[in-house]
Amino acid sequence: MATSALIPLILASLTGGLSDLNDKLLLLLNSAAGRSWLFDSIVAFFLDNDLAKAGVIGCCFLAAWYGGKSTNSTNARRKVLIATLIAAVCVITTTKVLSKTIFLPRPEIQSQKIYRLEGEQLVEMKRMPVRFMLDEESQKNYRALLSGDVETNDLGSFPSDHAGFFFAIALGIWLASRRLGWLALSWTVVVIMGGKMISAQHTPLDIAAGATVAIVELSLVQFVLRKRFSGLLEKLASLTLRYSALSSAIVFLVAFEVSSTMIHIRAFLGLLAAMRRHVLLGMG
Amino acid sequence: MKKFTIAIALFAFIFLTSCKVQKEGIVIMTDHSYKATLFATNKIGIGSPDGLLWHKGKLYFADEGGVALESWNRNEGLKKLADANVGFLSPEDLVIDAQDNIFFTDDDAGGLWEYTADGKLREVATKDKGLISTEGIALARDGSLLVGDGEQHEVFRVTRDGDVTEFLGKEAGITKPESMVFDEQGNLYIADNEDNVLYLLDTNRKLHRIIDRNDSFSPETIYYSKGSLYITDSRSGKLYVYTPGEEMKTIAAFGGQLKNVQGVTVDDQGNVFVSVQSDLKHKVGNIIEISKEETQVAKK
């Protein structure tokens, strides 16, 4: 009886502790922002520029794809990388669906006075005293925020889809090639995720959750493909060797999309969604 | 196998294109001196109101979703004054004169409607007189009513006897006079939410475009109180306050299921009330109160 009463208390205490730790870590990292225009501009450049942000990951992917020392080793790498791409699609779908289901505005949005509809009342949310970066784009966004211009995407920051996607790709590269994998992982953690936290776009918890989804789904996809669909995977890898020109073109497209954070694929999905609304559901 | 593949592809297509926007509702106070409270929901009996008006301690609703004219106060609760049985379809905006007669517009049925102080409903002027899709309404000093028409792109003057004359013709260039209100000097503010312009017709009948920001401003309803004009913007989900001679300021931004802000009114204490049509089709609406935070001195 006493144990059953204790469990919720322990859980509540753990959740509270984790939330406090999350806030403290975020504020510590974010304390670097808003002090130097140069530093903030560099951070913003790596956040906004796809080539600077994700180009390195795309290059690592290509290098791992072509970098086998023998045919067997190239074949083995390609099997891992094909499974990684499938896992990355699953990860981005999962994180997107979760972030649209779980309402948690970005920390920068939470710096404002926000009321959230909970049942029959508007409840004021806890405010995050975050600092804003001094570069031009961040200041423009800050002014828009002060005028109440908030994107729907900014209201669901948990888990981080950037973290999920890039962790999945970087871990896949690490499974194919340790040296390239360390580079991709370091870039993901320091440049991409670090920038997201310094600019208060994501908390450490958002990123940890995104990374967890990536680890779990990548492991699952790698396991299932190797155990259940090893023949198919083997066939696909050998086809890439046989039709090397065609596979190179496809891999270029994949690396291009990885480097541009799949923005073009998302636009294509947006078109499909519009088609579904207008054609299938008959909405004007 | 083929059927299975098609089924998987179809499922994936529907799943990938089904991500809906959040159903959460939020209010962001851009002016931190205000606070937001959920004043009323469908639980009190309202449908999905558009026009709102505080008058002598009562809140009146032009309930577009519920197709009714309603009043509410703390003691009596919600009272239905008139409903769809009498011929109106989509109550839009309302004004009340000093004798407590209520006048309202209807953008679907058209015409100008009156609910008299002694509880009778009549159509003051019908569609046949040119009031095809009536939107904004304002009570002039001489007792006549100014009615904006979204189909005719004009503003008409309607007398209590139902005579309709042109007040601002097509040449004025107002495409959709969605909402109108007089200030204490007799200047008329007109909100055009199709061209996204806020006009001011001064006492010399000169028309000024006072706010004209196509990309980020679409005035839905305007209400004048104590020197300030309160403006709702249903496109960007915002509540603004405009004081002549000053910059327009955003008080609050609304998001999720609270984004579609419509009517606005202010009570005697200066509290602002905004109607939100969360889902007009399914008659889901809310009333949000935006009031000043009590200062520490006031609390003491």
Closest residue, chain B, to A89 (C-alpha): B16
Q: Are A279 and B23 in contact (CB under 8 A)?
A: no
In a domain, residue B13? The reply is: no
Q: Kindly state whether residue B209 falls inside one of the protein's structural domains.
A: yes
Tell me the residue type at A82.
I
Count up the domains in chain B and report the number: 1
Contact criterion met (CB < 8 Å) for B238 and A150: no
Looking at residues B228-249, what average pLDDT do you find? 93
pLDDT of residue A1: 56
Chain B residues in contact with A103 (beta carbon < 8 A)? 22, 24, 26, 256
- Report yes or no on B12 lying in a domain: no
Q: Tell me, yes or no, whether B15 lies in a domain.
A: no
Nearest CA in chain A to B23: A101
Average pLDDT over residues B27-53: 93
Whether B5 maps to a domain, the answer reads no
* DSSP code per residue over chain A: -HHHHHHHHHHHHHHHHHHHHHHHHHHHHHTTTTS-HHHHHHHHHHHH-HHHHHHHHHHHHHHHHH--SSHHHHHHHHHHHHHHHHHHHHHHHHHHHHHHHS-B--TTGGGSEEEEEETTEEEEPPP-------SHHHHHHHHHHHTT---GGGGB-SS-HHHHHHHHHHHHHHHH-HHHHHHHHHIIIIIIIHHHHHTTSS-HHHHHHHHHHHHHHHHHHHHHHHHHSHHHHHHHHHHHHHTHHHHHHHHHHHHHHHHTTTHHHHHHHHHHHHHIIIIIS---
Give the nearest chain A residue to B216 (CA atoms). Answer: A149
Q: The domain spanning residue B237 has which CATH number?
A: 2.130.10.10
A142 near B CB under 8 A? no
- Cα A81 to Cα A89, A164, B34: the distances in Å are 13, 16, 54
Q: Which chain B residue shows the shortest CA-CA distance from A156?
A: B22
The closest CB to that of B253, out of A97, A105, A150, belongs to: A150
Mean pLDDT over each residue of chain B, to the nearest integer: 89
Mutate to test the interface with A, among B16, B18, B32, B231 (most CBs of A within 10 A): B16
Choose the mutation target among A91, A115, A151, A281 for the interface with B, i.e. most B CBs under 10 Å: A115
Q: Which residues of chain A have pLDDT under 50?
A: 284
Structural domain span for residue B210: 22-299
* A contact residues 143-182, partner B, Cβ 8 Å cutoff: 146-150, 152, 155-156
Q: Considering the domain boundaries, does residue B8 fall inside one?
A: no
pLDDT-wise least confident of A183-187, A246-250, B95-99, B264-268: A246-250
Residue B258 lies in a domain: yes
pLDDT at A277: 74
Q: Does B11 touch chain A (CB under 8 A)?
A: no
Q: Give me the total of CB pairs closer than 8 Å, taking one residue from chain A and one from chain B.
A: 89
pLDDT tens track for B152-200: 999 999 999 999 999 999 999 999 999 999 999 999 999 999 999 999 9
Q: pLDDT grade, residue B20 (50/70/90)?
A: very low
Whether residue A120 and residue B16 make contact (CB cut-off 8 A), yes or no, is no
User: Are B86 and B104 spatial neighbours (Cβ–Cβ below 8 Å)?
Assistant: no
Task: Write down the pLDDT at residue B21.
Answer: 43
**Is 0.95 topped by the overall pTM?**
no
Give the three-class secondary structure for B14. Answer: helix
Of B39 and A153, the structure prediction assigns the larger pLDDT to: B39
Residues B141-151 pLDDT 10s: 999 999 999 99
Contact across the interface for A152 and B250, Cβ inside 8 Å: no
Identify which of B19, B26, B41 has the shortest CB distance to residue A115.
B26
- Whether A96 has its CB under 8 Å from any CB of chain B: the answer is yes
Per-residue pLDDT averaged across B232-248, rounded? 92
Contacts of A93 in chain B (CB under 8 A): 15-16
Residue A37, number of CB atoms within 10 A of its CB: 13
B112 domain residue, yes or no: yes
Please give the pLDDT value at position B298: 54
Look at A115 and B29 and tell me if their CB atoms are within 8 Å: yes
pLDDT tens-place string over residues B102-142:
999 999 999 999 999 999 999 999 999 999 999 999 999 99
> Who among A100, A105, A148 is closest to B20 (CB)?
A100
Local confidence band at B295 (pLDDT 50, 70, 90 cut-offs): low
Residue A229 contacts B where some CB pair is shorter than 8 Å:
no
Q: Do B250 and A116 touch (CB under 8 A)?
A: no
